[in-house]
Amino acid sequence: MLAMKNQVRKTISLSKLPVRQRHLLKQICRLADERGLSVYLVGGVVRDLLLKRKNWDFDLTVEGDGIAFARLVADRHGARLVVFERFATAQLVFQDGLKMDIATTRRESYAQPAALPDVEPASLKEDLYRRDFTINAMAIQLLNGAQSGRLIDFYGGERDLRERRIRVLHERSFQDDPTRIFRAIRFEQRFGFRLERDTGRLLAQAASANLIQQLSGPRLRNEILLLFAERDPVRTIGRLARLELFRFLHRRLYYRKNVKRVVIAIPKALAWWARRFPDSAIDRPILYVMALASGSSPLVMKAMIRRLALLREQAKNVTVGKSRIDRALKKLTDTKTIRPSQVHRLLADFSDEALVLLLAEQISRQQQVRLSLLKRHLAAYVKNRTIKTALTGRDLQTMGLKPGPQYKSVLGKLLDARLDGTITTEAEERAFVQKLIGLAG
């Protein structure tokens, strides 16, 4: 679909790179010169250099044995090296934590749609042709000790960047690798680009052909979480819904009005949380998954967790469940007074993400008075949730309480009293326990 063009000849200055990266590229370039090899920066970093966006995630490719060259670089720099023979790729981690991929220029073939590709060495031109979109299919050949580079752009990537277009390189691109359906949306939303007409058509075809179903759980999860890690997941979610892509998470996962309202409220809830608790970071991508699932039945949620192969902590978060959220909201937005210890009980096993979801749910209901009440409870709860009793089980033992199930209940009552402020010192705790023991005896 894309006529191969004569490549553009253009020199790119690398002087804007940070000193550390420039220095490293210079050394790598020298090493390549010594061996008579050509080394290229490829993929996202080239795109971002042209867009003047920061991206220090360097992918290098070598016409020749990339892995042998990666070994050499790792040796010289004392970097850690992980080799993926099957993909002719090596990953280096330098002593200061900087990461870099070095690969052999290669072609890929897909035995079946959505499978991982078979790989064999090929020219740079073929290596660029196997890539997802023209804007990601450019290279910069390192020259002059990496002072500058020669832009290599066989497929019109630079023009597409200028004209703000996402374009696949060939008809089979989405079939070969359906993760590209999500990648297309990710770049479209991130850069505010649009899909070129044929690409849009091919994407819609691929989406309706159920290819995504064949992706493994971890690959699908990765794409979804990457999408939700972008700046504006709300728009992205709308886009995914219009393309009816949520059916691949679960055939009964619908983006209904009530769910949409919660999703739209998430940025506001997050902003409140960040203002109040700047040190408690929220796992935003998972929060958006939780919001999406918030209108679903426990069965649908469970199946979705399995489909995405969510990790244990992520899965626990997502299963917080509508009924628990509704129950907590009912109590926390009631004008009747509720003691801090009761709030604590209601929220004790909510993760921070679940607390933000709770807030978003209330924001979406547009009831100002109840929302203020909830915010007050949440703020107090998070501030006080680290409160502990001074006495421990061992103290109870020395005070003569026989070990048994009553320990849990005594310590629980003690904590409640602490949270509610009816006792504030260790001496008061002791008196409180004495009284309880006395009553029990």
- Residues at the site binding ligand CTP, with contacts judged by CB under 6 A: 43-44, 55, 57, 59, 131-132, 136-137, 177, 179-180, 183
Q: How far apart are CA 180 and CA 25, in angstroms?
A: 29
Q: How far is CA 47 from the centre of its chain?
A: 21
Q: How far apart are CA 166 and CA 190, in angstroms?
A: 11
What are the beta bridge partners of residue 309?
Answer: none
Q: Minimum CB separation from ligand CTP for residue 229, in Å?
A: 9
Of 134 and 294, nearer to ligand CTP (C-beta) is 134
- Contact in structure between 129 and 138 (CB atoms under 8 Å): no
Of 55 and 425, nearer to ligand CTP (C-beta) is 55
Of 157 and 295, nearer to ligand CTP (C-beta) is 157
Q: Minimum CB separation from ligand CTP for residue 217, in Å?
A: 17
Q: What does the block give as tokens for 235?
A: 């728009």
Q: How far apart are CA 223 and CA 310, in angstroms?
A: 12
Amino acid at 207: A
Amino acid at 158: E
Of 18 and 421, nearer to ligand CTP (C-beta) is 18
Q: Minimum CB separation from ligand CTP for residue 218, in Å?
A: 14
> For ligand CTP, which residue has the nearest CB?
44
Of 121 and 321, nearer to ligand CTP (C-beta) is 121
Cα–Cα nearest to 47, from 141, 150, 140, 163: 140
Q: What does the block give as tokens for 112?
A: 């079946």
Q: Minimum CB separation from ligand CTP for residue 240, in Å?
A: 17
Q: Minimum CB separation from ligand CTP for residue 82, in Å?
A: 16
Q: How far apart are CA 328 and CA 15, in angstroms?
A: 56
Compute CA distances 290 → 189, 282, 285, 337, whole Å: 21, 12, 9, 29
Of 106 and 344, nearer to ligand CTP (C-beta) is 106
Q: Minimum CB separation from ligand CTP for residue 43, in Å?
A: 3
